[in-house]
Chain A
Amino acid sequence: MTAILELKQKMKEFYGEHDTWILPLLKFVLAFVLFKGINSYMGFSDKMDNIFIVLILAVLCSILPLNAMTAIACVIVVGQCYSVGIEAAGFALILMILLMILFLRFTSRENLAMVLTPIAFRIQVPAAVPIGCGLLRGISSAVPAGCGIVLYHFMRLIKDKAALLQAKDTEIVKKLQILLDGLVKNYEMWLTVLVFIIVVIVVFLIRKLPVNYSWRIAIVAGAVVYILAMTMGSMVLRVQLDMTSVIVNTVLSTIISFVLEFFVLGVDYSRSEVTQFEDDEYVYYVKAVPKALITGKQKSVKTISNEEEEYEEPKFEREPKVQQEPEEISVPPVMAVDSAEIDFEKQLEESLKDL
């Protein structure tokens, strides 16, 4: 445990020293993973999947705000859909516009959740997003997370129905019906959206409780609620879900959430103190929980030599003051004159005579 705490401390110090380039680098990596993930998942357009385009877009995202990453991800999805057909691209564009107008414009500071949701689905840890949102952000982050679910299921729909959508004999109206039915009648998607909202609310409310280990209780409660809600929802809505994978994925998400809790909060409840004091107007009941910190080991270097050396008192040499060099003045150099040889009285008399 001490080693992990030391590692955390070192990471914090490292981040504190180099945050100017670490943050853009993390944004670059996230953007690269997201864009590459979208391209490899859909894989209809080779132009979009060009590594140079992905790299350039990721570099752009590293210097732009996070919302730009969301917008560029949407553009890539539309571009991929364009390779399937103009109808699919048009539908994707309308869907993105509707999501932005109806939901995302109210949660501009939480839109990272929308980007993270498809990634979490791809790496099989979807429950990590609502638990993480409940821990680190507020209830409003459920909105972009829900939009992320819609985006992920839309990409899956395009991938599944690509053959039908690309067929030339399929009418435009038929294609529109396939796309709209695929989204509106996708009960698995709606169930996941509903479960995400419930989990975010549960985790957020428990995390805010003034009890010991509230974050850990919130994580476990969120995971349990996720599994229960998915199970019950799938029975009510008659959605076929592989419950084993749901449970395994939720356990993995719980582990990720615990790691998150350790790095973000990391408090030591065993050393918590409760104090009470008052002023003229209020009585204060304060509970102070110290953070689990560890001071870095101070390394002392001891030089051992075989030869006996006489102890010498350390000499503290005063560093020479850096004097400002006088500006060069264009006067003729004056010869060094010994002042003892000059008779000043005589010279003064002579000069008075001249006067």
Chain B
Amino acid sequence: MLNERKIKKMRKMASFEAGEGKSDLAITNYYRSDYIGLGLIKNFFLITFAYVLMVGMYLGYKSEYLMENLHKMNLITFGATFIVLYVAMLFLYSVVTYIYCSVKYSKAQDGIQHYYKDLNQLKKLYDREEKKAGRETGRRKNV
């Protein structure tokens, strides 16, 4: 016989799994430290790539000036400026990524708590149904 309560709960859970819960479930598969760590590693590569693009554009933009004045410039200071800027940018974006990942993880945990609560209730419903079916057929649960 159809259990209306069970069906309603399963529908709610299925729509959560397919909708906003999809990303929440993926996030909470990780430990918090692992999730943030992964985010920081991704951030490192992305920022490095973006910085290389930016430096490339800058050097292209200033190429005429550099060609004329390269011999007069202090190349160590010039290179050091790029490195300092890179470290500053990486640090800034690492902080932003850390905050972003922390907030995202805690939000995902909040969302998933309701899901687990529903999951427990569903399990109880199944247990109750199984018990009832066992009583009707005279089966006994193996201990």
Contact = CB atoms under 8 A, between A and B. Distances in A.
23 contacts: A94-B53, A94-B57, A97-B50, A97-B53, A98-B50, A98-B53, A98-B54, A101-B46, A101-B47, A101-B49, A101-B50, A102-B50, A106-B96, A106-B100, A173-B60, A173-B61, A173-B64, A176-B57, A176-B60, A176-B61, A177-B61, A180-B57, A180-B61
Closest 6 A-B residue pairs measured CB to CB? A101-B50, A101-B46, A176-B60, A180-B61, A94-B53, A173-B63
Task: Count chain B CB atoms within 10 A of each CB in A98, A101, A180 and give the residue with the most.
Answer: A101
Contacts, number: 26
Contacts of A177: 61
Interface string A279-321: 0000000000000000000000000000000000000000000
A173 B57 CA distance: 10
Interface of A: 94, 97-98, 101-102, 105-106, 173, 176-177, 180
Nearest to A87: B60
Contacts of A176: 57, 60-61
Interface of B: 46-47, 49-50, 53-54, 57, 60-61, 63-64, 93, 96, 100
Contacts of B96: 106
Nearest to B47: A101
Contacts of B93: 102
Contacts of A180: 57, 61
Contacts of A102: 50, 93
A105 B63 CA distance: 31
Contacts of B63: 173
Contacts of A173: 60-61, 63-64
A112 B72 CA distance: 49
Nearest to B67: A173
Contacts of B57: 94, 176, 180
A106 B64 CA distance: 36
A167 B120 CA distance: 69
